[in-house]
Structure 1
Amino acid sequence: MTTKAQRQHLVRELLAAHEIASQSQLVELLAERSVAVTQATVCRDLDEMGVAKMRTAGRTVYAVPEADAPEALPANTLRRVLGDWVLDVRWSDNLVVLRTPPGSAHVVASAIDRSNLDGVIGTIAGDDTLLVVADSVTGGAAVASHCRVLADL
């Protein structure tokens, strides 16, 4: 029997070695290594591990954030992520709401969180909507404006 920690370690190895586009594909790869799990278990593991779907060469695949990676994303990476995924930007007071295609909000939220964007306290992501909280000095209007520029909206 494989423990949760062992299973998640194997998931990290599989994600590093393969371009995995679906949870069912990951379930199959785990089964090939004698680890029988349900798709629901894989879903929970990916969520706990902070795994996100990222676009690579025209495909969307799962990617594990690197623990040793620098905290801040380069500005061009944030621009690319917002340009690829953000459909709409609105604000009120110190809150900014970004709309994305279904299932993509967490990708944008993670990029914003890792970018150290000026004036941003943090993000909360749903399925196709994320909330960006701006500090009271910068305000939502300035953060929304900057996000619009980065997303080319």
Structure 2
Amino acid sequence: MTSGNVGKRQRQHIIERLLGDEAVSSQEQLVELLAERGVSATQATVSRDLDDLGAVKVRVGGGAGVYAVPVPAEERTMSEDHLRRVLSDWVIDIGRSANLVCLRTPPGSAHVVGSALDRAGLGDVLATVAGDDTLLVVAAEGCDAGALAERLRAHAGLPPESPLPASKEF
């Protein structure tokens, strides 16, 4: 694909693509993936590149950490297919209450999903607030949070929420 010595910007672009496509858990693995693509780099160079890109390690299912690169503000829009991929990769469960939708993720991953929802530009979403493993989505005025929750559940590949049984009076 690429021959040996590439410039810093090109190498960092390749690293960004790799981190988006692969679950990269170590700098050594990233050096190997670059080598498979004909790009030679040392672990020290990769470490500096990850720092320059603002890459962070996030936890995924099972507690494993993988590198992720936050997306710059100028690239805030994303396709519906990409949103589906992010939601299906990172969302464990979805619930709702009034105008709020709550998404559960593996520890350390809520910001990844929040960023994806922010960039998707969904008109139903007023705001997102990410914690460690929980993302709170505020439905916009006049939008049905239940419908938003079901849309996000479908994108995440989760089954539709079961209707709650009739409440019993106490």
Give the TM bin, normalised by the shorter chain.
0.5 to 0.7
2:107 paired with 1:106? no
For the residues of structure 1 that align with 2:25 and 2:89, how far apart are their CA atoms?
20
CA drift at 1:29: 3.3
Partner of residue 129 from structure 1, selected from 128, 134, 138: 134
> Which residue in the other structure is 1:79 paired with?
84
> Which residue in the other structure is 1:29 paired with?
44
Gaps of 5+ in 1: 1-9, 34-41
For the residues of structure 2 that align with 1:147 and 1:77, how far apart are their CA atoms?
13
Trace 1:1-150 onto structure 2 (pairs within 5 A).
16=13, 18=15, 29=44, 60-69=66-75, 71-150=76-155
Gaps of 5+ in 2: 1-7, 29-42, 159-170
Cα 1:13/1:63, change in 2 over 3 Å: farther
SS for the counterpart of 1:72 is coil
Cα 1:67/1:14, change in 2 over 3 Å: farther
TM-score (norm 1): 0.63
Computed over aligned residues only, the root mean square deviation of the Cα atoms, in angstroms, reads 3.6
- Contact kept, 8 Å, 1:83 with 1:150, in 2: the verdict is yes
SS for the counterpart of 2:95 is strand
Larger CA deviation: 60-69 vs 77-86: 60-69
Residue identity in the other structure for 2:148: V
CA drift at 1:136: 2.5
Provide runs of 4+ in structure 1 moved above 6 Å. 22-25
Provide Cα deviations, 1:75-133, integer angstroms capped at 9, x if missing partner: 00000110111111100110000001111111100000000113101101111111000
Provide Cα deviations, 1:1-36, integer angstroms capped at 9, x if missing partner: xxxxxxxxx9x99864646857998xx737x87xxx
SS for the counterpart of 1:122 is strand
Query: Radius of gyration: which is bigger?
Result: 2
For the residues of structure 1 that align with 2:146 and 2:57, how far apart are their CA atoms?
28
